[in-house]
């Protein structure tokens, strides 16, 4: 939980568990698929959460609420792109609140202790609610008070929408492409009155997912031009999340650090590596790239697999007369990455 956000009260936590239990008992994943997306507007912030019912495949049951256009864009990206096998990297695209239903042994002890303290009991396989907040680059974490309240409303409204969808299979059929049914509320006394609206989210273009190219350090650029020589070798460069977490400052939520790695394609030799913070590594990686060129004093060809790295490094490579190409696979990089993963134990915290 973010220490700057207020924690949920016991009453708010109990209400969340009650809403989750009602949602689970419906079993709405029997007729609602992951393609049935609909929105819930947060009455506290005005932000829309896009709901995805999980469970049709019979492996994982729950409700994911993707937050705002960033969350929705991440969901669409995950559905349409081939993501890396690295679980920590897949978390880089998730901005959502998750309610899932697990076996008892999957639920961490702090959550079981909370259930006991609230006077609640759950029995059976897949009967134990588990709630987590997902932010890009961060480890799944406990809910804040505002997140608890919004996930409660989302479970309640998702249950109502699913019930209506069973009676009307065309309920979520949009009047025009790109629109989503969104549940919007108005306060009437101490109650919220809900209604349907069709809304079109202002989704970012694919290019908007790329980082803004930073201003190049001309002094460092001139130094490289004077000391480095072109070579025919190829340097593979990548950034990827490490399968381990680092605790945030002041006891904040843990995050997955990012490894900047440069590997010579021909020999597989690692020429540069550095661990960067996940939340702002784009601001740092161009400096690390230029520092690497100053150190090795050569200007090789560059290959990358990520769009964002290509966009970030291309202005530097062009200014230095270097070739930079985006490729589907970095074979030498993969070997180095696998060795690093094995060294770290190859495990991703759940």
Separation of alpha carbons 306 and 100, rounded Å: 31
How much is the pLDDT for 161? Answer: 98
- Of residues 219 and 244, the one with the higher pLDDT is 219
Angle between helices 282-296 and 307-319 (to 10 degrees): 40
How much is the pLDDT for 170? Answer: 95
Average pLDDT in the 320-338 region?
A: 93
Separation of alpha carbons 48 and 94, rounded Å: 15
How much is the pLDDT for 85? Answer: 52
Contact 277, 257 (CB under 8 A): yes
Indicate the average pLDDT of the chain: 88
Residue 250 pLDDT greater than 90, yes or no: no
- Of residues 87 and 58, the one with the higher pLDDT is 58
Q: H/E element holding 146?
A: helix 145-167
Judged by DSSP in three states, 141 sits in strand
Q: In what order do the strands lie in the sheet with 180-188?
A: 128-134, 96-102, 62-67, 48-54, 38-41, 180-188, 191-199
Q: What is the largest CA-CA distance in the chain?
A: 73
| pTM exceeds cut of 0.85 | no
Residue 334 pLDDT greater than 80, yes or no: yes
Separation of alpha carbons 19 and 14, rounded Å: 9
Separation of alpha carbons 161 and 168, rounded Å: 10
210-343 CATH, one of 3.20.20.10, 3.10.180.10, 3.30.420.10, 3.40.50.20: 3.30.420.10
Contact 203, 72 (CB under 8 A): yes
Residue 37 pLDDT greater than 70, yes or no: yes
Contacts of 31 by beta carbon, 8 Å cutoff, 6+ apart = 162, 165, 166
Q: Cα–Cα distances in Å, from 270 out to 5, 219, 258, 303?
A: 42, 27, 16, 14
Q: CB neighbours (10 Å) of residue 232?
A: 7
- Of residues 285 and 344, the one with the higher pLDDT is 285
Average pLDDT in the 298-324 region?
A: 93
Separation of alpha carbons 256 and 84, rounded Å: 15
> For 127-174, how does the pLDDT look when each residue is reduced to its tens digit (9 = 90+)?
999 999 999 888 899 999 999 999 999 999 999 999 999 999 999 999
> For 171-221, how does the pLDDT look when each residue is reduced to its tens digit (9 = 90+)?
999 999 999 999 999 999 889 999 999 999 977 654 344 444 566 788 889
pLDDT band for position 4 (cuts 50, 70, 90) = low
Q: Is 145 exposed, middle or buried (0-12, 13-18, 19+ CB in 10 A)?
A: middle
Contact 263, 273 (CB under 8 A): no
Residue whose structure tokens are 């999980």: 54
How much is the pLDDT for 56? Answer: 85
Q: 6: closest CA among 148, 116, 114, 126? A: 148
pLDDT band for position 348 (cuts 50, 70, 90) = very low
Domain boundaries, the chain: 10-202, 210-343
Q: 101: closest CA among 160, 41, 20, 31? A: 20
Q: Which two tokens stand for residue 261?
A: 């790695």
Q: 307: closest CA among 220, 236, 213, 210? A: 210
Residue 255 DSSP label: B
Contact 288, 274 (CB under 8 A): yes
């Amino acid at each position: 939980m973010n220490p700057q956000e207020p924690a949920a009260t016991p009453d708010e936590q109990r209400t969340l568990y009650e809403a989750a239990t009602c949602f689970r008992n419906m079993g709405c994943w029997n007729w609602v698929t992951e393609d049935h997306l609909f929105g819930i507007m947060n009455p506290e912030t005005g932000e829309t959460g896009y709901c995805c019912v999980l469970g049709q495949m019979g492996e994982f049951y729950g409700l994911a609420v993707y937050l705002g256009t960033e969350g929705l864009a991440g969901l669409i990206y995950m559905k349409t792109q081939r993501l890396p096998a690295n679980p920590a990297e897949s978390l880089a695209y998730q901005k959502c609140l998750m309610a899932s239903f697990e076996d008892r042994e999957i639920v961490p002890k702090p959550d079981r202790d909370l259930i006991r303290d609230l006077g609640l009991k759950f029995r059976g396989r897949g009967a134990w609610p588990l709630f987590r907040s997902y932010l890009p680059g961060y480890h799944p974490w406990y809910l804040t008070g505002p997140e608890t309240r919004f996930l409660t409303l989302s479970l309640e409204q998702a249950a109502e929408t699913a019930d209506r969808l069973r009676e009307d299979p065309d309920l979520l059929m949009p009047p025009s492409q790109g629109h989503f049914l969104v549940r919007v509320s108005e306060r009437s006394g101490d109650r919220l009155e809900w209604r349907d609206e069709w809304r079109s989210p202002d989704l970012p273009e694919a290019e908007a997912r790329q980082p803004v190219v930073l201003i190049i350090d001309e002094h460092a650029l001139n130094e490289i031009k004077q000391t480095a020589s072109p070579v025919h070798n190829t340097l593979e460069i990548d950034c990827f999340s490490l399968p381990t977490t680092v605790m945030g400052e002041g006891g904040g939520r843990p995050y997955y650090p990012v490894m900047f790695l440069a590997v010579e394609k021909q020999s597989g030799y690692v020429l540069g590596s550095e661990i960067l913070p996940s939340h702002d590594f784009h601001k740092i990686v161009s400096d690390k790239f230029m520092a690497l060129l100053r150190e090795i004093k050569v200007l090789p060809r560059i290959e990358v697999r990520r769009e964002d790295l290509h966009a970030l490094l291309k202005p530097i490579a062009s200014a230095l007369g270097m070739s930079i190409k985006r490729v589907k696979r970095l074979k030498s990089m993969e070997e180095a990455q696998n060795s690093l993963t094995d060294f770290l134990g190859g495990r991703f915290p759940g």
